[in-house]
Structure 1
Amino acid sequence: MPIVRTLKNQQPAMGIKEVSVLCLQYRSFQFFWSVALLILLSPSLAEAQRDRVGTASISGLVLDQETDDPVIGVEMSVDGTSALSITNDQGEFRFEEILSGSLVLRSRRLGYQERTDSLSVPEGALIDVTVRLSTDPVELEELVVEVRSRLLEQRGFYERQRTGYGGVFIDRETIEDRNPNVLTDLFRTMSGLRVVYGGLFGPKVFVNQNITFSDGGLGCEPSLMLDGVRSTMRSYDFIDPVEVEGLEVYAGGGAPGGFSDPCGTIAIWTRIQVRRR
């Protein structure tokens, strides 16, 4: 009888030991997969962190200061980063997704004086630079920098501006320089446009086309394209100038295909998605 009691007492002890081992194995399994998941997600977390900081793109051209010829094989780098680009046969280079802010651009090639330039890169911008290198230790020309909007580049704004459709192009920098109180302030000084104040919905914009002021006509009302979509918005002043990244004004039917209208077209590109009316 004592032997029977001893066996009964041992069974629970073995069960507790087995459960403890199973719990330890389960926790080890959890820890292993937690570490594995963290390793897999590390690139995504880094990407998300980069997006929060803000990025920009830099492209440019390297020229010989004396001959103005493109310089091939120049090592372009950004101090403090792993970014590296080598100029091609046309002397061109490009950096994608560079962290915005203040940075130092370094240019190096055998046979030329090394050059460093400080840049202030706005978030989301496309920076075009022209770098000149010299074989002699002479004073170099200043870096030529052109800042473009990534949004306007994607919308074809600069391409239409270069092609020349006879339109008026206003970018964000120009808007900030003019500091309009309302959007129609930008149209008041444009040749061929007339801003008429009053009415239920505020000022309206007309194109002086095939009509004169002497016969009492207001002109022809142009179409409004808001972020590439035709809009029936009653007044341009419903849009805050702060929200506008750029605009294009075509006073006649010579606008590019998507914007063509006999009475002209005003295309507005917003920085913030605007509720269309």
Structure 2
Amino acid sequence: MLRARIIIGLACSLSGLAVQSLSPVAAQADNAAIVGQLVDHQTREPVGGARIGLLGVGKELASDSAGRFSHAGLRSGTYVLQVHAIGYSAASWIVELADGEVHSEVFELQRLPYVLDPLVVERRPSLSEQRRNEFERRRAAGRGYFLTEAEIKRESPRSLADLLRHVPGVRLQCRGSMAGCTVRMARAPRECRPDFVVDGFEASNATSLDMPTIGIIGVEIYRTLSETPLQFLRADNQCGTIVIWTQSGPR
């Protein structure tokens, strides 16, 4: 009987250790989610049938008739939510997910102005062609630091931090590892962080550099106020601007 009790006690102890060893694995599961609704900025009416994508995640979603959508099974981290809807300007948002978090938010879309001119028959460049042409014009002007799609593919960075690490005049401030890094310009005051623009839209919360580089086709880095073009300049901008262009941007 004594030997049987010892064996049973040992089995219980091993079982407890097994449960404890599994806990970290469970904590790393893909258990975060984004739940959202798309609405018209002016009327607050839901926007259905919109295409919704997460930069770096292959699956594309569509909003239902009530403007709702959800994406489960996500890891904790930083995501770029991109939305395209007929009659509305393309929009991007930065969403940061903690482990196990269900992020719920209402996203507002701006209507496109309707300009009808039946006499115009000349071909106009698409939005994607136009933004590429503007990118090249700004690069040729010699103001700021530019990373082209070819350069990004050649470097094969895993995150935005990897991409910015060797840019002259840019400093990364990290806490022990690349995760949790922040960026500032060398000439900017301490604790002064640059503005971020994604596909032409302000993304003021995009201070995390864990953003994946999959789908990024161009980056513009403006380290000073004098370098920054007017379309990316804000009245209170004293810390520089980082402009990111993606494949999922306006077409």
TM-score interval w.r.t. the shorter chain? 0.3 to 0.5
TM-score, L = length of structure 2: 0.42
TM-score, L = length of structure 1: 0.38
State the structure with bigger RCO (CA 8 A, min sep 6), 1 or 2.
2
Which structure has the bigger radius of gyration? 1
